[in-house]
Homo-oligomer: A and B are copies of this chain.
């Protein structure tokens, strides 16, 4: 293999695909980035058998071929090169020369053909979203996936296409985060469970730009995210996900409207006391006010916020972390909370519409 490529383009592609490289593995080739030069096109690939990322780079192919280079050292070398043309060439023993102006590296690589193939996902009809929207939907739900592996299905998110909507739902056993958008085109019902790690990594690659698009292709075992110059393939999680439609009950005894920012700041302060004592915070809701309190050995806190109440007064306890994480990712100035009883979940949603729904289980006081 012998190629010439701009340092800037090469490091961008490395930064993208390295997110899928293994760091600790019994298969050392998975710690490599595969460089593939065929048909006058160069692609870089990272793949840890669960998540694979492939990026195409504009380059001059002098001799076709492929090589797998240890990702960490390869990325460090290219990152520190001058922003000029970089020449990569391999010999018969996988020794790879990397030359840029007056600096010359030679590092040993591995046979490219030994690098495992990415799963092939057929490109039938895609779902198309703006990258910005998908990035926001991930941010607004991913904090609710389970961190521990005891129920693997909960470490992923449900991506669902149904009735003209695209939805993302995360559930860790204590809370549900739900986001939906209207799809521009009519699509048949389909759903997959995507590992949280895949969504985390893809979110770092997604552009914040409204005009960039992403195409999603669902299959039984795999999902393909096509961002144009870069493709992400991921294995899916298998199993039964929460029947989320049933948990968002329309019944409630108490509905309040509150300023999101003030509510968030108050809970963040109350959490300072609650966290030290690992105690819940208490919300007491009456006609005009919500009083937030917490007590621990080191002291206590008492916060008051004005609200608009509809329905019954209520006192209820929460782990403040769950409220804080949901409130931080909402953008509306005013939000709506629904309660039924001190032992039933609270639901946070917009004043109007169903763009997002956050369900949080209370804590017994």
> Which residue numbers of A lie inside 8 Å of B, CB to CB?
70, 73, 76-77, 80-82, 95, 102-108, 265-266, 268-269, 272-273, 276, 298-305
Contact = CB atoms under 8 A, between A and B. Distances in A.
Nearest to A306: B102
Closest 6 CB pairs of A and B: A107-B299, A102-B304, A104-B302, A80-B269, A103-B303, A105-B301
A316 B101 CA distance: 24
A269 B107 contact: no
A126 to B, nearest CB: 41
Given A73-B272, A272-B73, A299 B105 contact: yes
Nearest to A80: B269
A269 B77 contact: yes
A166 to B, nearest CB: 36
A103 B70 contact: no
Contact of A80 (B95, B103, B272): B272
Q: How many copies does the complex hold?
A: 2
B73 A276 contact: yes
A349 B6 CA distance: 36
B73 A298 contact: yes
B108 A305 contact: no
Contacts of A265: 80, 82
A311 B62 CA distance: 44
A303 B103 CA distance: 4
Contacts of A299: 73, 95, 105-108
A81 B269 CA distance: 8
Contacts of A305: 102
A305 B104 CA distance: 12
A108 B298 contact: yes
Contact of A76 (B70, B266, B272, B300): B272
Contacts of A268: 80
Nearest to A103: B303
29 contacts: A70-B298, A73-B299, A76-B272, A77-B269, A80-B265, A80-B268, A80-B272, A81-B269, A95-B299, A102-B266, A102-B303, A102-B304, A103-B266, A103-B269, A103-B302, A103-B303, A104-B301, A104-B302, A104-B303, A105-B269, A105-B273, A105-B299, A105-B300, A105-B301, A105-B302, A106-B301, A107-B299, A108-B298, A108-B299
Given A103-B301, A105-B302, A107-B299, 12 more contacts: A73-B276, A73-B298, A80-B265, A80-B272, A82-B265, A102-B303, A103-B304, A104-B301, A105-B269, A105-B299, A105-B300, A105-B301
Nearest to A105: B301
Nearest to A292: B103
A300 B106 CA distance: 5
A268 B81 CA distance: 10
A107 B70 CA distance: 54
A320 to B, nearest CB: 12
A273 B273 CA distance: 50
Contacts of A273: 105
Contacts of A103: 266, 269, 301-304
A95 B298 CA distance: 10
A103 B291 CA distance: 10
A76 B268 CA distance: 10
A170 B272 CA distance: 41
A272 B104 CA distance: 13
